[in-house]
Amino acid sequence: QGCKEYKDEDEVGSSSQANKRSYEYNRSQETQSSILGLSPDSQIQVLSFLHPRDIISFGCVSKNTKLIVDEDPTLEDNQNYTAVLLWKEIWKRDYAWVVTQWDVGIEALQRSIGHCLHCA
């Protein structure tokens, strides 16, 4: 049981090219049939059912899943909108009640908005 061990290309021998092509083909099929093949809106919808800890774990699976979950500071104007929208959705799901249903939260939001309006 557990993860399969993949040998280094030098250790495999002459059949390495065929194995590599087969691996790449299987990997592309896997991408098409997984969450990575979905539109960003659908990815957000699916991931929004998970606990934040599980979303972080999902982001550790590969570089592609990390792009869905993490904001990339190297992108100009933070163009990784999927990650931004995902975390906004999680915030709304878990914490929006604080500023919409809790009296202290509503008052704090109103003060904050009022303060921002005076600053502009």
Residue pLDDT, tens place only, 6-33: 444 444 454 556 555 555 555 555 555 6
The pLDDT of residue 58 is above 60: yes
Arithmetic mean of pLDDT over the chain = 76
Share of the chain above pLDDT 90, in %: 33
Gap between the Cα atoms of 45 and 86, Å rounded:
8
Exposure string of 49-87, with b = 16+ CB inside 10 Å and e = fewer, is eeeeeebeebbeeeeebebbbbeeeeeeeeebebbeebb
pLDDT confidence of residue 113: 83
Residue 82's nearest CA partner among 27, 74, 90 is 90
Average pLDDT over residues 36-64: 94
pLDDT confidence of residue 67: 87
Gap between the Cα atoms of 45 and 52, Å rounded:
14
